[in-house]
Amino acid sequence: MNVTSLFDLNGRSALVTGGSRGLGQAIAQALAFAGADVAVTARDVASLGETVRLIEDSGKRAFPFALDVRDVDACSRVVEAASQALGGLDILINNAGTEEIRPALDVDEALWDRIVSTNLKGAFFCAQAAARQMSGFGRGGAIVNLCSLTSYVGIPTAVPYGSSKAGLMGMTHALAAEWAPLDIRVNAIAPGYFRTAMTDVFYQDAAWQQAMLDKIPQRRFGAMEDVAGAVVFLASGASRYVTGHCIPVDGGYLASI
């Protein structure tokens, strides 16, 4: 058995939402390195320039699309357009997300709707549109959702975010069970503490950094490339009998609490 070939994504096509920076950009680049052609989305298509360059530098085709995942109709249109551009769709990475820290007593409807509509509703309707494309081509596919440590544990001042990510975990389980007969696998990863544009405000506090490092057995924060192996595994034939699961990529944080 050629184990290496199980991770080969040559001839596969992928769509990554929220691919302009951070984890989304790293995931798009990793899929391209593994051999996939990659479509990427962001609310501002101009922000995808660097990601497109990284994909093309890997020798693969890149297709940028503007998408606000809170717009259900746009999710359907863009996923279909990406599938047409790619010549089919094999992989969806639901990465688009947002977060805002606010005490629960101060959360208003607008904040709740913005976070939950982005992180949960948007992920579902992108998955639904992707599944229609995957089943239409008759070759199945793989969907990977970006969950969070808050899918497992409660974090004060992050109630809307944690609610959306716990919901995303439930969605992963349910879709995996429902779409298995279509040969569509649905899994997730739960990144631990990674410094991104969205989370940078926390890392500006040295005391917070030390407190977090003390809770992580590996005693370091995640690097962008740390998500690459887990995502490629879940997107590739190496995980063809794995569905409905979430892999924490957290340096041992969840195992230690």
The residues carrying an active-site annotation are: 161
CB 48 within 8 A of CB 42: yes
* CA distance linking residue 129 with residue 245, whole number of Å: 21
CA distances from 26 to 6, 114, 158, 188, 248 (A): 21, 25, 25, 16, 17
Handedness of CA 154, 160, 162, 163 (dihedral sign): positive
- Find, among 228, 246, 199, 160, the residue nearest to 7 by Cα: 228
